[in-house]
Structure 1
Amino acid sequence: MSTPVDRARPWEDGRKSTRIRSSSSPPSGSETAAERLTDDLLVEILSRVPGRSLCRFKCVSKHWLGLINDRTYRRKLPQTLTGFFFRETSEEQLVHPVLPFTNLSGSRSRTSLTFLPNGRKAFLLDCCNGLLLYDVSSHRGKRRYVVCNPAMEEWTELPHCDHAGWVGIVHLGFDPAVSPHFHVFLLTDQLNGFGLPGVDVCSYVYSSETGRWVHKEKKWYWDIDLVRVHSAAYLNGCLHFFAEINHNTLCLAADKEAGTMIYSHVPPLNDGFMQQSQGCLYYAGFGRDDNDDNVVRLLVYVLEDYNSKEWILKHSIESSHLCGGQHDVDIEEDFCWIAIHPECNLIFFTLGWDRTFMCYDMDRRQLKVICNLENCAPPYLPHVPLYEELQSLHK
């Protein structure tokens, strides 16, 4: 196994905090100098403090509050991946009021969700930039969805969605750097009922801005199947997901108006996995080596130019490098995707029967064993805490 990467990498827990004098502190020469800092320099300083501290710094002054809430600067301020929610093998689903969590160093904890409405079963479906999406079963048997922010203990219940057909994909879309509003995407597919090839894919999208669902139906005249329902990425206001059409894997996109379109063809990979990272779509999976069919390689593609729809090969490495010395591992059977880091070139996954939690650094081509997750089960949902009040989550 390669030497683990150093502890300054992004998967470690905390950052060095920067101590900043509040406006109520006694006058000093350094305070006078700080007041002369431009907004760009001040934001550069604030970007180096932990997210929880940044939330407290909103109280320093109205000017700081305005800077921290300014969406022009939001992408520069800390929104760091802290770990993953998961379910325990003893549970059927991810159920509140307690949610298992592991941080990027492998330490376990439990997140309390007792602020959610009581008396109903709730199942965690998705997590996006600090918000959680729950499926809540009411006493009347109607399915409803709840979106919450555990960092601020805020939540809202969505109006009932009267959908029909098999629910293939349910995902949450939220980007606080772009808008304070979130979207919930619900896609169903069903046979067209006329004995013809193909299915009707129905898109339902909820907008917290309008407070209502919109619905559109797309008729496909090919053999289409929604696949890899846990692999989807929200980017540029659209949910990107996979579908098999005529035995080819395509990336489809659903927008906030519930329109569904073919976005691009994707390279043929086994166990393909897609996520958003560094403002681009990343697509990773396993493929046979062109020169040796017995060699399996991890291949990572990136859509650097969103408009070109061309996937560029970013990284390639023999899959044996990911086994970390485990010789009895079948990489295509025992490998389970967890996430691609949203800010850097790190891949998180589990490997083997004991679910060894690992991280691979594409830049350094180095592997790190984090811990064992033998009593845990997917889906593993990446969590970026959001220390910001959202009007859309007020009950």
Structure 2
Amino acid sequence: MTAPYDVITMGRIGVDIYPLRTGVPLAQVDTFGKFLGGSATNVAVAAARLGRRAAVVTRTGQDAFGDYLHQALREFGVDDRWVTAVDRYPTPVTFCEVFPPDDFPLYFYRLPKAPDLEIHTHELDLDAIRAARIFWMTGTGLCAEPSRSSTLTALEARARSGITVFDLDWRPMFWPGDVGTEGQVAAGPRDEPRELYAQALRHATVAVGNLDECEVAVGERDPEAAARALLAAGAELAVVKQGPKGVLALHRDGTRADVPPVPVEVVNGLGAGDAFGGALCHGLLAGWELERVMRYANAAGAIVAGRLACSSAMPYEHEVAQVLAGGPFPAQDPVPAPPQDTRNGAAPPGAAPDRPSGTRPGTEPARPSGTPSAAPSETSSGTSAPGALS
């Protein structure tokens, strides 16, 4: 019998298109890098980088970008057997602008609908999900059907076996109607998301989120009150990310950890929270005491914040150990320059790629709630950098 996976994640996937220079507006960028993206997928990559057997449940378009994502997952050592294609929707693409230390606007192209929201219940391998040592799901998976029902079915199949992590992952622009408008980020109708979050929390053993996400889930912004509300809602461990104030972790048994951020010279804060998530999984699987887990996850997030990309920036064990020992932050291998394409009719360097015929991607410029342009974001992994936004 095949051994169970250490980590199975379920949720978003896409292609991140990042400028290869920082401090340049998107309208003026002429050189981009292409990377595997999507929060749940990045968490699987982060866990795999730390030596864990990881897989992701998600969907792509039936297109060249979908092919690229399969290739990238395999190169990162993440099992892609549950990554399937949807014929009628293109693979999502996300552009960003990089203005260190704290301004990273995102532009999501997920219209008319992202394939990763087309995960159907009958397609789930519930035996594998039930057997996984950690199952990781996200709030975005609850925003639309059939992903919503599939996510809740997967949670029910877990029956609180092993470790089940609910990444609160509040993305208002992905929710339908008034719930998802920019005007509802700070206040407004959140009844539907809160009800769905409550359903998921009943099945989760670990809840992870920043203060905005905690407010959506349980109506609390104070870190201590939010953590206790998450425990009351069903979690055994609540992890509240507070940006420049660090991380508060509170366990049902009374154990707590208040961990300060790891100072870092920020290059790109996108992906720091996903590195935190993968390292959190690694530490929980190792059985470490709570403060050690949080310090390890903070260090992993800080490393990614000091690098340009997300998935390819996820640290290895020796790199996290180096930072925890007080050593210098390890440099990431340089991003390779884009190759020259000499095919007849190919677009010149810097030109936009063709998109699938008949599709018109929708743009959703996004600065998640709690991300002011002049202050570190509460989406942080607990480093002094902004946290994962992809």
Q: Is this a same-fold pair by TM over 0.5?
A: no
Please tell me the TM-score bracket, short chain as reference. Answer: 0.3 to 0.5
Query: Which has the larger share of strand?
Result: 1
Radius of gyration: which is bigger? 1
Give TM-score scaled by structure 2 length.
0.35
Query: Which has the larger share of helix?
Result: 2
